[in-house]
Amino acid sequence: MNDVGEELLEVVTPDGDIIGKALRKEVHGNNTLLHRVVHVFVFNSAGDLLLQQRALNKDVAPGKWDTSVGGHVDFGETIEAAMKREMEEELGIKSGKKAPVFLYKYIHSNAFESELVYSYSFTYDGQIAFNKEEIESVKFYPIAEIEEKLGTELFSDNFEHEFQQFLRYKG
């Protein structure tokens, strides 16, 4: 496998049309290069949301709590394939016959990068075998507790933006 900065990603329009390609190390640090990512909200049957604490060696938001699953869509990869790959790589979850449900897409942009985010929801009560190289820990949070802790620097800015999108989506 290539070094993480050498991953090839698709540069896209806000509609998701592919207009070029760039290395991960090129899109990180250049917020004019919009690239696709997938996020999956993993809920348990009680309605609590699984969050991952990002590894301390991450280049974006080290140690912050973040969306259950999040990752880049590789060059030539479909959104669905990336979503399933990331769920398995990060949390050890195989969706099997029960597919995650598409929720919405939006653009998240900050000084570091711009992402076209495809968000999904998945209910899961099985074993979580998280990737210890990428994730410090995981925890199911009640939605009300997440809402109480927004703006306290506990969460990544990406997650805070994502969670606001999710709350609007839920209405």
Q: Does the predicted model carry a pTM greater than 0.75?
A: yes
One pLDDT digit (tens) per residue for the chain, 171 residues: 446 668 999 999 999 999 999 999 999 899 999 999 999 999 999 999 999 999 999 877 899 999 999 999 999 999 999 999 999 999 999 977 788 999 999 999 988 899 999 999 999 999 999 999 999 999 999 999 999 999 999 999 889 999 999 999 988
Q: Return all residues near 18 (Cβ < 8 A) that are at least 6 apart.
A: 10, 11, 12
CA separation, residue 113 to residues 24, 28, 34 (Å): 10, 5, 7
Q: Classify domain 4-170 at the CATH topology level.
A: Nucleoside Triphosphate Pyrophosphohydrolase (3.90.79)
- Spell out the domain ranges in the chain: 4-170
